Amino acid sequence: MNLVLIIAVASLSYYVKWILDEKHILEIELAHCSRTCMKNTSVKEIELVFRIFALTMVSEIVTLKGQYHPELPSILNFDLKSLDMETFTAGIAVDLISLPMRIEELATSHLTEESLERASESLDRFGVVLLQSIIPLDVCKRAAADIAEQIKDPKVTFGNIMESEFRHDYPLEIGNNATDAIFTTTMTFIDKIITRQLGNHASVVEYSSLVSLPGAGQQGVHPDTNMKSAEDFRGVNKMISVFVSLADVDVDMAALDVWPGTHTHVHLLPSEQHELLVSAPAVRLKIPAGTAVLMDSRTFHRGSSNNSTKPRPVQYFSFAEDTDGKAAPDGATYSMRDEYWLEKPKRGSIRVDQWKKSFGM
């Protein structure tokens, strides 16, 4: 598919949203059309396009730092301040890391073998993949309202999270119809993706909600699992987190920023090279309600600031490998109610297949 056509369709979807802001269904259909245009564009092709522009970016950084030709920045009128400016992009960048699903997949809540392979490949290469609009809007609204009520009268301790003054991480209980529906519907789509990524013996290590209120500050860029050495990539159990957006998210609503591809060697960059990460624009997840974001916990990300008048409600759950001899992921919040841990403090968790039985799956 011609890239110009892809960009044109993506631009059209946002133009129509501007004109018909309340036409939620139309917006989803146009966005789906844009992602369908990506269907014949492989993950490898997307990565090659990224590399074209990455070459320019890296060479510019080296030039701006004057490491080889100190006179070039002034000759070429490069802006040295640009290295310290944080930027983000949305729109087509979000579609590039989204799974282009067919109408029948959305209707049946089951992915084809081709889609399963592509989703798993995207996680391998980029550390993130989005399944847009897989949960009906009314189901999302019920869950968001229920979580808001629970936060007003909490029965358990809030989870530990960065920039927590206007962010509430509230562990959820099994048996709540509103939030159970989010989990069960999401799992019908992603169950086999999790198995491909983590094997048949993965465990549930987080089951919680996150509400970012108006006024929430921007978090620092971080991974949820830290890799401290090359050996950690083999010796630490892999973890996949799933964030389900319960409302439409605009760029000023504490949207999640992600840096695709940072779940690997970026962890081991010398501190003086961390500017490479800062200089790269984040992909800001401007997404519709009902979108599931699957993210390798090693991927660098952050919650942006909420400068809107609306909260951003999210329900999330995380799964980890359970391989003998490997260490538990370091850095995760492990936000889950105490009764769901097999051992305390939080040293054993329920296998995914047993967890699903608790939901009648």
pLDDT of residue 294: 98
- Where helices occur in 103-222 by DSSP H, the ranges are 103-108, 113-126, 137-152, 177-198
Within a domain: 131? yes
Taking only the tens of pLDDT, the chain with its 361 residues reads 344 333 333 333 333 333 333 444 444 444 545 555 555 667 677 666 666 566 556 666 655 555 556 666 666 565 656 556 678 888 888 988 999 998 999 999 999 999 999 999 999 999 999 999 999 999 999 999 999 999 999 999 998 887 778 999 999 999 999 999 999 999 999 999 999 999 988 999 999 999 999 999 999 888 999 888 888 888 888 999 999 999 999 999 999 999 998 898 888 887 766 666 666 788 999 999 999 999 999 999 999 999 999 999 999 999 999 877 788 888 788 899 988 887 654 556 788 988 999 999 8
Within a domain: 1? no
Within a domain: 339? yes
pLDDT of residue 256: 96
Within a domain: 14? no
Tally the C-alpha atoms within 13 A of residue 155's C-alpha that lie toward its C-beta. Answer: 10
Within a domain: 39? no
Give φ, ψ of 134 to 5 degrees. Answer: -90, -15
Rounded CA gap, 172 and 178, in Å?
Answer: 11
Q: Domains in the chain: how many in total?
A: 1
Within a domain: 17? no
Give φ, ψ of 181 to 5 degrees. Answer: -65, -35
Q: Beta strand pairing status for 341-343 and 348-349?
A: antiparallel
pLDDT of residue 115: 95
Within a domain: 73? no
| Domain extent for 199 | 88-358
Q: Beta strand pairing status for 348-349 and 282-284?
A: unpaired
The reply to whether omega before 154 is within 30° of 0 (cis) is no
- Cross-strand partners of 294: 129, 242
pLDDT of residue 285: 96
pLDDT of residue 20: 37
Nearest to 122 by CA among 282, 322, 296, 316: 296
Contact present, 284 and 88 (Cβ < 8 Å): yes
Within a domain: 5? no
Rounded CA gap, 282 and 81, in Å?
Answer: 18
Which tokens hold the place of 123? 């996680």
| Helix axis angle, 177-198 to 137-152, nearest 10° | 110
CATH number at residue 100: 2.60.120.620
- Percent helix, strand, coil in the chain, to 5, is 45, 15, 40
Residue type for 308, please? Answer: S
Residue 229 CB-density burial (10 A; 0-12 exposed, 13-18 middle, 19+ buried): exposed
pLDDT of residue 245: 98
pLDDT of residue 26: 43
